[in-house]
A and B are shown apart, each in its own frame.
Chain A
Amino acid sequence: MNPAVIDIRDLSFAYPDSGFRLSIQEFQMMKGERIFLHGPSGSGKSTFLNLICGLLQPSSGKLQVLDLDMKQASESARDQFRSDHLGCIFQQFNLIPYLSAEENILISSWNSPRRWSRDRFSSPQEEARFLAKRLDVSDILGQMSSKISVGQQQRIAAARSFMGAPELLIADEPTSALDVERQADFIKLLIELASDFEMALLFVSHNHELSSHFERKLDFQVVSGEIQS
C-alpha cells in the first residue's frame, strides 16, 4: 500500500473560462502527517483543495489521493471516495441549518457506512457523543445548528469530520472566525484528535502565527512554483 496520502507530480490545472493556472511539480503528504500550508489569498489554495477533494479534476499530471488516481477517476468514484475517506472543515457555515448539532455530526455516517468506527463503538450515535465530549460540545447536541455559536459550530464540524476516522482531514482556515485565544485551543484539539486516530491533517491558513503547532510548514507559493525556496 502506498505510504503517501497525497502524491502529486507535474500537476497542472486551468479553469476553462479564466486565465488562472495552477501547477505543482511535486508534493507529497504521508500517512498521519500534519502539514501547515500557508499562502496569501488568491494564490490558488482553494483550487488546490478542490483538486484534492475531487471537486475539480487536474488538466494534466498525476494526482493520487490514497489509492485513487484523481485524474482518471469518474465523478461518482470521486464522490464516493470523498464520502469514505475525507473530512473537511471550512472557515465558517459548516453546518446544515435545518439539522440539529447531533444530526450534523452523524450526517457523514448516513451517507457512507465507513464513516463510523465499528471496531470501537456500538453505534454512530455513540461515536458522535464520544467526539462531542472530546470537543466539549456534549451539551448542545440537541440544539438546531442555526442557534449555536460560531465556535461551537466549528467544533461540531470537526466532530463530523472525525467520524469514522477518515485517512485525511482537510481544514481550510477553520479558525479564522474564532477569537485569537480560542484559535490555539481549537488547533491543539484538532492535532490531538488527528494523532489519536492516526489521521493526516492538511491545515490551510494565511495566518502564519498558527504554524507553530505543526512540525511541517509549507509555503503554498513555493509548492506551486511561484516562489523559489
Chain B
Amino acid sequence: MIRKLAWKSLLYRRWISVLLVVSLGSSVFLALAVERIRWGARESFSEVISQADLLVGARTGPINLLLYTIFGMGNATNTISFESYEKLKAHPAVDWTIPFSLGDSHRGFRVIATTESFYKHYRFRGDRRIELRSGSIPASVSDVVLGAQVARSLGYKVGDRIILSHGMSGEGPDVYQHEDQPFQVVGVLMPTNTPIDWSLYITLEGMDWIHEGWQEGQTTAKTSTITSFLVRMKNRIDSVYFQRDINEFKAEPLMAIAPGVTLMEFWNSFRFFEKSLQIISIFVALISLLGLFVVLMISIELRQREMLILRTIGLNARKLFALVLLEVGFLTVSGILLGIILMFVCFFAMQEPLEAMTGVAITLTGPSSFDVGFVLSLLILALASAIWPAWRLYRQSLL
C-alpha cells in the first residue's frame, strides 16, 4: 500500500520530482567528475614516464632533475661525462638506458638529443610507446624529429629545413643561431599528450655537430657529455642497490632518483589544489542536499492535508514515515543513478578530446571507494534530513 501511494504521489508531482532528480543528478555528476578529473590528473602526471626505474643526472635537487629532464622546465646545472654514462650503462644489472642531452632550442621549443633507445624503450601511461605519425627516426647528424605540438604550432612537415638556436631564449640579436648547421625534418611524432609533444629530437651526434664550430678546441663529433639518462633494470629490485651505487659514484658527483616516486612527491606539493577541488565537490553536493531539504519542507507544508487524511484513515507513524522516506529515497537514488550515468556518458564521449586538450587521461574504471562512500553518505544524509519534516508532519496532523 505504501509503495503504491509513494509511487502515485511521485507521479502526481512528476515535474517537481524530475526537477529534483535532475538537480541532484547534476550535483552528483559534478562531484564524481571533479573527483575523477582529480584522480586522472594525478595518474596522468605520475604516468608521464613509466617503466623507467631510475633517472640519473648531475647532483642537484631531485625535483629539479625531474623538471628539466622530463618537463623541459629550468636548466641543468651540470653535465655527466659520457665515460661515466657508458660505464654505468655497461653494468650487468642494467636492461636499457635512454640518454638525454639538452641545451638548444628552436623558436622556444626544446631540442633534446637522444639515441634510438628513446624511440624503442620510452614508455608513458603504462605501456604506451612513442610512435611516428610520418617519416622516420633521425639517422644522420642533421636529422630532426618533431613532437606533435611543435609540428602543429610551427606548421612544419617532413622535408623542411630548420635552424636551431643555442640556449633557451629563442630568437634575438644575442642568441647564437647554429646557421651553419641546418637540420632537416625527417619525422613527426604521434601526439602523446605529455611534454614529449613540445620538443624536437636530434641525435647525440647531431648535438655535437652543431657545437663543433662553436666550442673552442672540440673538433671531432664525439660526444663528451650528456645531461641525464633513464635506466631500466633487468630486475626491479636491483634499482635500490644501483641507485646507491650511483649516488656514491667515485668518478664524479651523480644522483639517481626513482622518477615515479619523485613525480608523486612533486604532485603532493600541490595537495592544496587537490583538496580545494575535493572541497568544492563536497560543497556542491551539500548545497544540492540543502535544496532537497528545502523542497521537502515546502512540500510537507503543502501535504499537511494529505497526511491528515492518511492519519484519519488510521495510517500509523511507521507507515507515514515509510511513505515519506520511500519518496525521498527514490528521488535520491534516481538522482545518484542519473549522476553516475551522466558521468560515464560524458567521460566516454569526452575522454579523447579531454586528453588531447589538457593531457589529463580519464580511465573509465568501476566505482572507486570515494564514489561508493560519497553516494552512500549522500543517501544517508538525504534520508536523515527527511526524518525531521516527516516527524513534524506526523505531529501536526490534527483535525
Contacts and interface: CB of A to CB of B under 8 A. Distances in A.
Contact of B316 (A80, A88, A107): A80
A160 interface: yes
The B interface is mostly helix, strand or loop, or mixed, namely helix
A97 B316 contact: no
Interface residues of B, number: 24
B316 A50 contact: no
A112 B399 contact: no
Contacts of B312: 53, 55, 82, 86, 88
B237 interface: no
B314 A84 contact: yes
Contacts, number: 71
Nearest to A75: B317
Contact of A55 (B4, B310, B313, B398): B398
B278 interface: no
Best-buried of B12, B306, B311, B312 by chain A (most CB within 10 Å): B312
B314 A112 contact: yes
Contacts of A49: 399
Contact of A96 (B309, B316, B318, B399): B309
A111 interface: yes
Interface string A63-95: 000000000000110011111101010100111
Contacts of A95: 309
B309 A94 contact: yes
A111 B316 CA distance: 10
B12 A98 contact: yes
Contact of B399 (A75, A90, A110): A90
B298 interface: no
B306 A83 contact: no
A4 to B, nearest CB: 21
A110 B314 contact: no
B397 interface: yes
A93 B305 contact: yes
Best-buried of B5, B397, B399 by chain A (most CB within 10 Å): B399
A142 to B, nearest CB: 14
Interface in B264-303: none
B398 A79 contact: no
Contact of A83 (B12, B314, B318): B314
A28 interface: no
Interface string B366-399: 0000000000000000000000000000000111
A46 B399 contact: yes
A81 B314 CA distance: 7
Nearest to B306: A96
A46 B13 CA distance: 31
Interface in B306-335: 306, 309-319
Contacts of B13: 98
Best-buried of A55, A80, A84 by chain B (most CB within 10 Å): A55
21 contacts: A46-B399, A50-B399, A55-B399, A79-B311, A79-B316, A80-B316, A82-B311, A83-B313, A86-B312, A88-B313, A90-B399, A93-B309, A96-B310, A98-B8, A98-B11, A98-B13, A99-B5, A99-B8, A103-B8, A110-B4, A111-B313
Interface of B: 1, 4-5, 8-9, 11-13, 305-306, 309-319, 397-399
